């Protein structure tokens, strides 16, 4: 059983330039930041290495960091421009009983993260949901399309902080 | 009930209006389409189970809309599902009745404020006969809603078309 | 001349008589043989995560009830333990004991519905009526405590909404005495019934490695033989004080990991829940259930992920707080969302009628899949 600092050291020796840092300020657990286009290689190492054996991905969640600047678009409503969207991975090992949290961040204008579909099959629907709610494109995902919203929803990505509701959808009034 | 108030004369003859007879037949066996969406569906299942029996009112769940008289919309209606409910409603033959069960089907429920995918009330898509409030309504409340529907059917007339 | 065949796409649409809710399954079939299953979800997407960002921390609790509406106490439990971890407050002992008793009663009630609907889908309509009668006893215990039958808003951050009724302990003990013979009756009616075994044994076999890679949890994972239970792995609340076992699937009438094993794990878990309630019901200490509830809940900045064992599997809450009265992000890791991905794997090579048996054994609730 290893603690997060040891895992960070092990990862740093293996993938020097891909691991961006460890954030120890959070109250519950340190978070390791990883480069978004290399997360699949890091995931394979974490799953197959004998000392780590992270064979289960507990949850994969997209987050809108809302750390850009507020601008007003043509209707006068608040939009956010710049800033990042992040994806958090919580991993767990059923044999060795340790846990770790990873984080990747991508720019809001063109969010692209590599998919970990080949490492943990759990990520199939979780990544589709992150795409549906935030618009994060997962590269090399076999079937990336909307999962919770209707397939022809064109009004944007609902969980972003600057999302606006459409007035009508197929003849039905959406607001109250 | 009004139907058997008349005296029996010459054995086994009952005199009643045709309206009363048809309404009595319709309200005593309302076959519902088994359509449960969310939490209210579990209360609907509990109403048709053994403790609060639905079957003693003549209500049995049917599987297809072509054989059903009533549909009990129990649970939140989302935009994705509303188009399918319209299609189910159009497949049911006349006379058909709609009971809207629960806050979510009446007016959007607790999701009225920020629900971007919730239809705020099923009456934006199909016409409703009885609204049963509650979140979720108790089985007794649903039985009261059924009795109100029976009241409504009792006052119908064959000459006037049902809306 | 060769026979010209082609595959057909059959739609088991959002409205179908199985009582699991609004799920659409697209089946690729050749005759009766299944080549592939694609589930389509989203028909009950109620925007829980958007509401959680607009409400204060205590106001989110009624919305968590409605996620997995058959195990509402468990959802509440998960949310309040996560927020309490972020706040770092201590809970009175009385509150902990009552929370455990309520969660275990809810586990029994939820498994009763799961078993009843599993049987009803396959064609056994009698156990449905018998088990719902027994569920009414549990619901009357809940109603005596907090006034609601199904969606309670009972566990608050730092305490409970109501203290238990003076008669609660006596009535719970009566319920335990009444319920043990019911499990024997259920075994005679359904579990070892020849037709049920024919329909569910050797169907939908799930190997352990596939289960872990897909992230399965709860009875689905335990039915394949791995004794993994969040109450023993990552003990939360006071579960480490109670003595209970973790039932796993052993392939008694078929192979390890088939539908019958998943079903039997649920029956055995009800017995273990009764054991926990028996150990806890006599030891409830005195105290005030409202004493530790903070006046204003403003957690420090940070992230936390914590999980509980719901009847359907591992329910996790990932909360990011930015120091305000409202959460910044709440993500729910729903066990049925992850278990449903297994449908595509399990149904290959079976017949159309087996799809219903497999879906019933996975025990999904659409409220938490679509959130």
CB-CB neighbors (< 8 A) of B82 in chain A: 172
CB of B78 within 8 Å of a chain C CB? The answer is yes
Give dist(CA C367, CA A124) in Å, integer: 20
CB-CB neighbors (< 8 A) of B101 in chain C: none
Strands, E, within chain A: which ranges?
19-23, 31-34, 56-64, 69-72, 78-81, 84-92, 99-107, 112-114, 137-139, 168-169, 172-173
pLDDT at C345: 87
**Which residue is listed with tokens 């078309």?**
B161
Q: Where are the domains of chain C?
A: 46-370
Give dist(CA C40, CA C12) in Å, integer: 10
Tokens of C226: 């791995």
* Residue C332 backbone dihedrals phi, psi, to 5 degrees: -105, 125
Of B113, B116, B119, which has the smallest distance from its Cβ to A172's Cβ? B119
Chains with 3 or more CB pairs under 8 A to chain A: B, C
Hey, are the CB atoms on A58 and C212 less than 8 Å from each other? no
Give dist(CA C242, CA C315) in Å, integer: 21
Give dist(CA C120, CA C123) in Å, integer: 5
Which regions of chain A are under pLDDT 50?
A: none
The CB density around residue C288, as the number of other CB atoms within 10 Å, is: 12
Give how far A63 is from chain B: nearest CA, Å: 18
- Which residues 71-100 of chain B have a CB within 8 Å of chain A? 79-80, 82-83
Hey, are the CB atoms on C331 and A59 less than 8 Å from each other? yes
CB of A147 within 8 Å of a chain C CB? The answer is yes
Give how far A6 is from chain C: nearest CA, Å: 20
Of C44, C50, C132, which has the smallest distance from its Cβ to B37's Cβ? C44
CB of A13 within 8 Å of a chain C CB? The answer is no
Chains with 3 or more CB pairs under 8 A to chain B: A, C
- Which residues 5-34 of chain C have a CB within 8 Å of chain B? 13-17, 19, 21-22
Q: Return the closest-CA partner of residue B72 out of B87, B60, B80.
A: B60
Please name each of the domains of chain A with its CATH number: 4-173 (3.30.460.80)
Give dist(CA A36, CA A42) in Å, integer: 10
CB-CB neighbors (< 8 A) of A94 in chain C: 212, 226, 228
Hey, are the CB atoms on A158 and B124 less than 8 Å from each other? no
Tokens of C186: 């259920």
Give dist(CA C44, CA C40) in Å, integer: 11
pLDDT at C6: 82
Of B80, B113, B116, which has the smallest distance from its Cβ to A174's Cβ? B116
pLDDT at B161: 58
* Residue C236 backbone dihedrals phi, psi, to 5 degrees: -120, 165
The CB density around residue C192, as the number of other CB atoms within 10 Å, is: 12
Mutate to test the interface with B, among C45, C49, C52, C134 (most CBs of B within 10 A): C45
ipTM field: 0.91
Query: 1.10.645.10, 3.30.300.160, 2.60.40.10, 1.10.3720.10: which CATH number matches C46-370?
Result: 1.10.645.10
- Note the pTM of the prediction, 2 decimals: 0.91
CB of A88 within 8 Å of a chain C CB? The answer is yes
What DSSP state is assigned to residue C240? G
pLDDT at A107: 87
What DSSP state is assigned to residue C22? S
Report the interhelical angle of A39-48 vs A4-14 (nearest 10°): 120
Hey, are the CB atoms on C13 and B49 less than 8 Å from each other? no
Which regions of chain C are under pLDDT 70?
A: 1, 18-19
> pLDDT of C326-360, one tens digit each?
999 999 999 999 999 888 888 888 998 888 889 88
CB of B5 within 8 Å of a chain C CB? The answer is no
| Nearest chain B alpha carbon to A164 | B116
CA distances from C38 to A58, C23, C206, C216 (A): 23, 11, 18, 18
| Nearest chain B alpha carbon to C55 | B114
CB-CB neighbors (< 8 A) of B116 in chain A: 158, 163, 165, 174
**pLDDT digit string (tens) for chain B, length 163 residues:** 455 555 556 667 777 888 888 888 888 888 988 788 888 888 888 888 888 888 899 998 888 889 998 999 998 998 888 888 998 899 999 888 999 999 989 998 888 888 888 888 888 889 999 999 988 899 999 999 999 999 888 887 777 655 4
CB of B114 within 8 Å of a chain A CB? The answer is no
């Amino acid at each position: 059983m290893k603690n997060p600092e040891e895992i960070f050291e092990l990862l740093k020796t293996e993938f020097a330039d891909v691991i961006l840092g460890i954030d120890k300020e959070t109250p519950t657990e340190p978070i390791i930041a990883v480069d978004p286009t290399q997360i699949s290689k890091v995931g394979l190492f974490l799953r197959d290495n004998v000392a780590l054996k992270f064979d289960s991905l507990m949850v994969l969640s997209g987050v809108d960091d809302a750390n850009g600047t507020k601008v007003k678009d043509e209707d006068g409503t608040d939009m956010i421009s710049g800033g990042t969207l992040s994806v958090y991975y919580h991993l767990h090992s059923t044999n060795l009983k340790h846990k770790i949290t990873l984080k990747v961040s991508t720019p809001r204008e063109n969010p692209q993260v590599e998919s970990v579909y080949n490492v943990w099959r759990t990520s199939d629907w979780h990544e589709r949901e992150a795409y549906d709610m935030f618009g994060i494109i997962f590269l090399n995902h076999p079937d990336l399309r909307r999962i919770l919203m209707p397939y022809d929803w064109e009004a944007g990505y609902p969980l972003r902080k600057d999302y606006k509701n459409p007035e009508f959808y197929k003849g039905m009034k959406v607001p109250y | 009930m009004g139907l058997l108030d008349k005296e029996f004369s010459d054995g086994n003859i009952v005199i009643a209006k045709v309206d009363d007879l048809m309404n009595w037949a319709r309200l005593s066996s309302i076959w519902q389409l088994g359509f449960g969406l969310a939490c209210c569906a579990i209360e609907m299942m509990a109403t048709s189970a053994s403790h609060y029996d639905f079957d003693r009112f003549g209500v049995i769940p049917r599987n297809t809309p072509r054989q059903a008289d009533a549909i009990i919309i129990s649970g939140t209606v989302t935009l994705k599902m509303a188009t399918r409910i319209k299609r189910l409603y159009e497949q049911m033959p006349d006379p058909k009745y709609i009971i809207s069960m629960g806050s979510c089907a009446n007016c959007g429920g607790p999701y009225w404020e920020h629900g971007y995918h919730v239809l705020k009330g099923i009456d934006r898509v199909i016409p409703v006969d009885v609204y049963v409030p509650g979140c979720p309504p108790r089985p007794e409340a649903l039985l009261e809603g059924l009795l109100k529907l029976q009241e409504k059917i009792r006052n119908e007339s064959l000459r006037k078309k049902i809306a | 001349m060769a026979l010209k065949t082609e595959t057909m796409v059959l739609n088991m649409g959002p409205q179908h008589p199985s009582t699991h809710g609004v799920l659409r399954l697209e089946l690729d079939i050749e005759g009766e043989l299944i080549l592939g299953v694609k589930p389509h979800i989203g028909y009950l997407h109620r925007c829980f995560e958007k509401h959680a960002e607009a409400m204060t921390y205590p106001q989110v609790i009624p919305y968590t009830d409605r996620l997995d509406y058959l195990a509402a106490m468990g959802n509440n439990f998960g949310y309040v333990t996560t927020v309490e971890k972020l706040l770092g407050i201590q809970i009175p002992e009385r509150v902990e004991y009552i929370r455990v008793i309520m969660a275990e009663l809810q586990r029994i009630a939820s498994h009763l519905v799961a078993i009843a609907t599993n049987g009803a889908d396959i064609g056994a309509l009698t156990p449905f009526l018998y088990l719902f009668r027994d569920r009414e006893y549990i619901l009357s215990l809940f109603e005596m405590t907090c006034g609601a039958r199904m969606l309670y808003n009972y566990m608050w951050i730092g305490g409970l909404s109501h203290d238990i009724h003076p008669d609660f302990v006596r009535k719970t003990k009566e319920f335990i005495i009444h319920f043990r013979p019911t499990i024997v009756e259920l075994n005679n009616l359904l579990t070892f019934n020849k037709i049920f075994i024919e329909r569910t044994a050797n169907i939908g076999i799930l190997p352990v490695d596939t289960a872990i890679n897909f992230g399965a949890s709860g009875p689905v994972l335990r039915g394949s033989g791995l004794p993994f239970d969040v109450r023993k792995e990552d003990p939360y609340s006071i579960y480490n004080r109670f003595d209970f076992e973790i039932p796993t699937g052993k392939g008694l009438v078929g192979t390890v990991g088939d539908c019958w094993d998943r079903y039997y794990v649920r029956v055995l878990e009800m017995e273990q829940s009764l054991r926990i309630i028996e150990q806890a019901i006599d030891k409830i200490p005195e105290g005030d259930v409202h004493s530790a509830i903070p006046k204003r809940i403003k957690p420090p900045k940070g992230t936390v992920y914590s999980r509980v064992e719901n009847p359907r599997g591992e329910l996790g809450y990932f909360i990011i707080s930015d120091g305000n009265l409202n959460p910044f992000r709440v993500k729910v890791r729903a066990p049925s969302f992850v278990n449903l991905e297994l449908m595509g794997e399990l149904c290959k090579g079976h017949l159309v009628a087996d799809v219903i048996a497999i879906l019933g054994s996975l025990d999904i609730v659409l409220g938490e899949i679509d959130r």
